Amino acid sequence: MQASGEPERRSPATKGQIVALGVSAVVLLSILLGNPAWSAFWDAITGGGENSYEFIRTDVDHGRQPVTWDHCIAIRYQVNPDDGPENWQDIVHAAFADVSDKSGFVFVDAGETRNRVLSGAWTPGSSRGEPVLITWSNQGRLHAMEGAIGLGGGAPMDVNGRLRFVTGSIVLDSVSHSRTYDPMGTTAQQAVLEHEIGHVLGLDHVDDDRQLMYPAYHDQNDFGPGDIAGLKALHDVPCG
Protein backbone atom coordinates (compact mmCIF):
# COMPACT_ATOMS: atom_id res chain seq x y z
CA MET A 1 0.00 0.00 0.00
CA GLN A 2 1.09 3.53 -0.55
CA ALA A 3 0.88 6.37 1.86
CA SER A 4 -2.34 8.34 1.88
CA GLY A 5 -2.35 11.00 -0.79
CA GLU A 6 0.31 9.36 -2.96
CA PRO A 7 -0.67 7.65 -6.19
CA GLU A 8 -0.25 3.88 -6.24
CA ARG A 9 2.45 2.76 -8.61
CA ARG A 10 2.34 -0.50 -10.54
CA SER A 11 5.01 -2.23 -12.50
CA PRO A 12 4.19 -2.28 -16.22
CA ALA A 13 2.81 -5.61 -17.45
CA THR A 14 5.16 -7.64 -19.61
CA LYS A 15 4.20 -8.85 -23.09
CA GLY A 16 4.16 -12.42 -21.81
CA GLN A 17 1.75 -11.53 -19.02
CA ILE A 18 -0.60 -9.81 -21.47
CA VAL A 19 -0.60 -12.82 -23.83
CA ALA A 20 -1.15 -15.23 -20.93
CA LEU A 21 -4.05 -13.13 -19.69
CA GLY A 22 -5.62 -13.09 -23.14
CA VAL A 23 -5.30 -16.85 -23.54
CA SER A 24 -6.79 -17.41 -20.09
CA ALA A 25 -9.74 -15.19 -20.95
CA VAL A 26 -10.39 -17.11 -24.18
CA VAL A 27 -10.20 -20.46 -22.39
CA LEU A 28 -12.55 -19.24 -19.65
CA LEU A 29 -15.02 -17.90 -22.20
CA SER A 30 -14.94 -21.21 -24.10
CA ILE A 31 -15.66 -23.13 -20.89
CA LEU A 32 -18.52 -20.83 -19.95
CA LEU A 33 -20.09 -20.94 -23.41
CA GLY A 34 -19.99 -24.73 -23.23
CA ASN A 35 -22.45 -24.46 -20.37
CA PRO A 36 -26.02 -24.06 -21.76
CA ALA A 37 -26.99 -21.54 -19.08
CA TRP A 38 -23.94 -19.35 -19.72
CA SER A 39 -24.37 -19.74 -23.48
CA ALA A 40 -27.95 -18.52 -23.23
CA PHE A 41 -26.82 -15.61 -21.07
CA TRP A 42 -24.09 -14.69 -23.56
CA ASP A 43 -26.57 -14.77 -26.46
CA ALA A 44 -28.97 -12.58 -24.49
CA ILE A 45 -26.40 -9.81 -23.94
CA THR A 46 -24.79 -10.00 -27.39
CA GLY A 47 -27.83 -10.75 -29.53
CA GLY A 48 -26.14 -13.97 -30.64
CA GLY A 49 -27.76 -15.69 -33.58
CA GLU A 50 -30.03 -12.81 -34.63
CA ASN A 51 -28.20 -12.50 -37.94
CA SER A 52 -28.44 -16.21 -38.67
CA TYR A 53 -30.98 -16.17 -41.49
CA GLU A 54 -30.90 -16.49 -45.25
CA PHE A 55 -33.47 -15.96 -48.00
CA ILE A 56 -34.23 -18.40 -50.79
CA ARG A 57 -34.43 -15.59 -53.32
CA THR A 58 -34.13 -11.81 -53.48
CA ASP A 59 -35.71 -9.34 -55.89
CA VAL A 60 -32.92 -7.43 -57.72
CA ASP A 61 -35.42 -4.89 -59.04
CA HIS A 62 -36.51 -3.91 -55.53
CA GLY A 63 -33.26 -3.36 -53.64
CA ARG A 64 -32.68 -7.10 -53.22
CA GLN A 65 -35.57 -7.36 -50.82
CA PRO A 66 -36.45 -10.98 -50.06
CA VAL A 67 -39.08 -12.66 -52.21
CA THR A 68 -42.06 -13.62 -50.07
CA TRP A 69 -45.84 -13.42 -49.90
CA ASP A 70 -48.08 -10.36 -49.87
CA HIS A 71 -48.68 -10.17 -46.11
CA CYS A 72 -51.88 -8.14 -46.63
CA ILE A 73 -53.55 -11.26 -48.03
CA ALA A 74 -54.13 -14.39 -45.94
CA ILE A 75 -52.17 -17.45 -47.06
CA ARG A 76 -54.50 -20.40 -47.58
CA TYR A 77 -53.41 -24.01 -47.09
CA GLN A 78 -54.97 -27.40 -47.81
CA VAL A 79 -54.06 -30.81 -46.45
CA ASN A 80 -54.19 -34.23 -48.04
CA PRO A 81 -54.15 -36.41 -44.90
CA ASP A 82 -53.38 -39.71 -46.69
CA ASP A 83 -50.47 -41.49 -44.98
CA GLY A 84 -50.30 -38.76 -42.32
CA PRO A 85 -50.23 -39.38 -38.55
CA GLU A 86 -53.49 -39.84 -36.67
CA ASN A 87 -53.17 -36.44 -35.00
CA TRP A 88 -52.20 -34.55 -38.18
CA GLN A 89 -54.85 -31.87 -37.56
CA ASP A 90 -53.37 -30.95 -34.17
CA ILE A 91 -49.85 -30.80 -35.63
CA VAL A 92 -50.82 -28.73 -38.68
CA HIS A 93 -53.01 -26.24 -36.83
CA ALA A 94 -50.47 -25.76 -34.04
CA ALA A 95 -47.63 -25.27 -36.53
CA PHE A 96 -49.43 -22.60 -38.56
CA ALA A 97 -50.61 -20.84 -35.40
CA ASP A 98 -47.04 -20.68 -34.10
CA VAL A 99 -45.58 -19.48 -37.41
CA SER A 100 -48.30 -16.83 -37.63
CA ASP A 101 -47.46 -15.65 -34.12
CA LYS A 102 -43.72 -15.53 -34.89
CA SER A 103 -43.97 -13.97 -38.35
CA GLY A 104 -47.12 -11.86 -38.53
CA PHE A 105 -48.34 -13.67 -41.66
CA VAL A 106 -51.98 -14.80 -41.53
CA PHE A 107 -52.91 -18.36 -42.55
CA VAL A 108 -56.34 -19.75 -43.36
CA ASP A 109 -57.28 -23.43 -43.33
CA ALA A 110 -58.88 -24.18 -46.72
CA GLY A 111 -59.85 -27.71 -45.72
CA GLU A 112 -58.88 -31.15 -46.95
CA THR A 113 -58.13 -32.16 -50.52
CA ARG A 114 -57.47 -35.33 -52.50
CA ASN A 115 -54.81 -33.58 -54.59
CA ARG A 116 -51.23 -34.73 -54.22
CA VAL A 117 -49.67 -32.15 -56.55
CA LEU A 118 -50.40 -28.55 -57.44
CA SER A 119 -52.26 -28.04 -60.71
CA GLY A 120 -50.26 -24.94 -61.65
CA ALA A 121 -53.37 -22.83 -62.13
CA TRP A 122 -52.74 -19.13 -61.58
CA THR A 123 -54.21 -15.87 -62.88
CA PRO A 124 -51.37 -13.60 -64.09
CA GLY A 125 -50.95 -10.58 -61.86
CA SER A 126 -52.88 -12.15 -58.98
CA SER A 127 -51.34 -12.33 -55.50
CA ARG A 128 -53.30 -15.50 -54.76
CA GLY A 129 -52.75 -18.84 -56.41
CA GLU A 130 -53.71 -22.31 -55.22
CA PRO A 131 -53.64 -22.97 -51.48
CA VAL A 132 -50.33 -24.26 -50.12
CA LEU A 133 -50.58 -28.05 -50.42
CA ILE A 134 -49.46 -30.28 -47.55
CA THR A 135 -49.06 -34.01 -48.12
CA TRP A 136 -47.30 -37.02 -46.61
CA SER A 137 -45.37 -39.36 -48.87
CA ASN A 138 -43.02 -42.31 -48.52
CA GLN A 139 -39.58 -42.43 -50.11
CA GLY A 140 -40.78 -44.75 -52.86
CA ARG A 141 -43.65 -42.53 -53.90
CA LEU A 142 -41.55 -39.37 -54.00
CA HIS A 143 -37.97 -40.24 -54.92
CA ALA A 144 -36.95 -36.56 -54.78
CA MET A 145 -37.05 -36.69 -50.98
CA GLU A 146 -33.85 -38.79 -51.02
CA GLY A 147 -33.86 -39.44 -47.30
CA ALA A 148 -35.29 -36.07 -46.25
CA ILE A 149 -38.03 -35.96 -43.63
CA GLY A 150 -39.62 -32.92 -45.24
CA LEU A 151 -39.52 -30.69 -48.32
CA GLY A 152 -41.12 -27.29 -48.78
CA GLY A 153 -41.04 -24.22 -50.96
CA GLY A 154 -43.02 -21.50 -52.68
CA ALA A 155 -43.65 -20.62 -56.33
CA PRO A 156 -42.62 -17.02 -57.22
CA MET A 157 -44.57 -15.08 -59.83
CA ASP A 158 -44.51 -11.51 -61.13
CA VAL A 159 -47.26 -9.61 -59.35
CA ASN A 160 -47.54 -5.99 -60.46
CA GLY A 161 -43.82 -5.80 -61.16
CA ARG A 162 -42.68 -7.51 -57.97
CA LEU A 163 -41.74 -11.16 -57.45
CA ARG A 164 -44.03 -12.76 -54.90
CA PHE A 165 -44.84 -16.25 -53.78
CA VAL A 166 -48.44 -17.05 -54.71
CA THR A 167 -48.60 -20.76 -53.83
CA GLY A 168 -46.40 -23.49 -52.43
CA SER A 169 -46.22 -27.08 -51.26
CA ILE A 170 -44.91 -29.13 -48.37
CA VAL A 171 -44.22 -32.87 -48.43
CA LEU A 172 -43.53 -34.74 -45.19
CA ASP A 173 -42.07 -38.23 -45.01
CA SER A 174 -44.83 -40.61 -43.97
CA VAL A 175 -42.42 -43.18 -42.51
CA SER A 176 -40.64 -40.88 -40.05
CA HIS A 177 -43.98 -39.26 -39.18
CA SER A 178 -45.74 -42.59 -38.67
CA ARG A 179 -47.17 -43.52 -35.30
CA THR A 180 -46.41 -47.18 -35.87
CA TYR A 181 -42.89 -47.21 -37.33
CA ASP A 182 -39.99 -45.38 -35.70
CA PRO A 183 -42.34 -42.57 -34.69
CA MET A 184 -41.31 -38.96 -34.21
CA GLY A 185 -42.94 -37.21 -31.26
CA THR A 186 -45.63 -34.61 -31.84
CA THR A 187 -43.27 -31.76 -30.89
CA ALA A 188 -40.67 -32.94 -33.41
CA GLN A 189 -43.26 -33.35 -36.17
CA GLN A 190 -44.53 -29.82 -35.55
CA ALA A 191 -40.97 -28.46 -35.64
CA VAL A 192 -40.27 -30.18 -38.97
CA LEU A 193 -43.48 -28.76 -40.43
CA GLU A 194 -42.62 -25.26 -39.18
CA HIS A 195 -39.19 -25.57 -40.81
CA GLU A 196 -40.91 -26.34 -44.13
CA ILE A 197 -43.38 -23.46 -43.67
CA GLY A 198 -40.32 -21.26 -43.21
CA HIS A 199 -39.16 -22.38 -46.68
CA VAL A 200 -42.61 -21.67 -48.12
CA LEU A 201 -42.44 -18.13 -46.74
CA GLY A 202 -38.97 -17.59 -48.21
CA LEU A 203 -36.36 -18.62 -45.61
CA ASP A 204 -33.40 -20.71 -46.71
CA HIS A 205 -31.13 -23.03 -44.71
CA VAL A 206 -28.50 -21.57 -42.37
CA ASP A 207 -25.23 -22.91 -40.96
CA ASP A 208 -26.16 -22.03 -37.36
CA ASP A 209 -27.38 -25.26 -35.75
CA ARG A 210 -29.22 -23.30 -33.04
CA GLN A 211 -31.80 -22.19 -35.61
CA LEU A 212 -34.81 -24.19 -36.75
CA MET A 213 -33.81 -23.42 -40.36
CA TYR A 214 -30.62 -25.45 -39.91
CA PRO A 215 -30.82 -28.20 -42.54
CA ALA A 216 -30.72 -31.09 -40.06
CA TYR A 217 -33.16 -31.64 -37.22
CA HIS A 218 -31.48 -32.29 -33.88
CA ASP A 219 -34.16 -31.46 -31.31
CA GLN A 220 -34.28 -27.70 -32.02
CA ASN A 221 -38.02 -27.53 -31.37
CA ASP A 222 -38.62 -23.82 -31.81
CA PHE A 223 -37.53 -20.93 -33.98
CA GLY A 224 -34.25 -19.36 -32.90
CA PRO A 225 -33.49 -15.63 -32.81
CA GLY A 226 -32.12 -15.72 -36.35
CA ASP A 227 -35.22 -17.50 -37.67
CA ILE A 228 -37.49 -14.93 -36.04
CA ALA A 229 -35.42 -12.03 -37.39
CA GLY A 230 -35.65 -13.56 -40.87
CA LEU A 231 -39.41 -14.01 -40.59
CA LYS A 232 -39.74 -10.38 -39.52
CA ALA A 233 -37.66 -9.26 -42.51
CA LEU A 234 -39.99 -11.21 -44.80
CA HIS A 235 -43.05 -9.60 -43.24
CA ASP A 236 -41.46 -6.16 -43.58
CA VAL A 237 -41.59 -6.41 -47.39
CA PRO A 238 -44.31 -3.94 -48.49
CA CYS A 239 -47.60 -5.51 -49.47
CA GLY A 240 -50.03 -4.48 -52.18
Q: Is residue 200 part of a domain?
A: yes
Q: Is residue 34 part of a domain?
A: yes
pLDDT at 7: 36
Count of domains forming the chain: 2
Which of 104, 110, 74 has its CA nearest to residue 92?
110
pLDDT at 147: 72
Which of 80, 196, 58 has its CA nearest to residue 131?
80
Q: Are residues 133 and 27 in the same domain?
A: no
pTM beyond cutoff 0.85: no
Q: Is residue 129 part of a domain?
A: yes
The mean pLDDT value for 182-211 works out to 92
Q: Are residues 103 and 220 in the same domain?
A: yes
Q: Are residues 199 and 123 in the same domain?
A: yes
Q: Is residue 52 part of a domain?
A: no
Beta-bridge partners for 169: 133, 153
pLDDT at 215: 94
Determine contact, residues 173/138, Cβ cutoff 8 Å: yes
Q: Is residue 136 part of a domain?
A: yes
Q: Are residues 90 and 33 in the same domain?
A: no
What CA–CA distance (Å, rounded) separates 191 from 146?
A: 20
Q: Are residues 31 and 62 in the same domain?
A: no
> How far is the first Cα of the chain from the last one, in angstroms, to the nearest whole number?
72
Q: Are residues 115 and 227 in the same domain?
A: yes
Percent above pLDDT 70 for the chain: 75
Residues spanned by the domain of 33: 15-46
Q: Are residues 160 and 64 in the same domain?
A: yes
Q: Residue 134's domain is classified under what CATH number? A: 3.40.390.10
Q: Are residues 23 and 128 in the same domain?
A: no
Q: Are residues 78 and 112 in the same domain?
A: yes
Q: Is residue 7 part of a domain?
A: no
Q: Are residues 23 and 113 in the same domain?
A: no
pLDDT at 39: 54
- What would the pLDDT profile of 5-20 be if each residue is shown by its tens digit? 443 333 455 545 444 4
Which DSSP helix (H) or strand (E) runs through 182?
none
What sign does the CA torsion over 133, 235, 189, 215 have?
A: positive
The mean pLDDT value for 149-165 works out to 92
Q: Are residues 19 and 112 in the same domain?
A: no
Alpha helix (H) ranges present in the chain? 15-33, 36-46, 88-103, 186-201, 225-235
The mean pLDDT value for 111-126 works out to 87
Three-class SS of residue 60? Answer: helix
Q: Are residues 161 and 222 in the same domain?
A: yes
Q: Is residue 8 part of a domain?
A: no
Which of 212, 200, 184 has its CA nearest to residue 75?
200
pLDDT at 14: 54
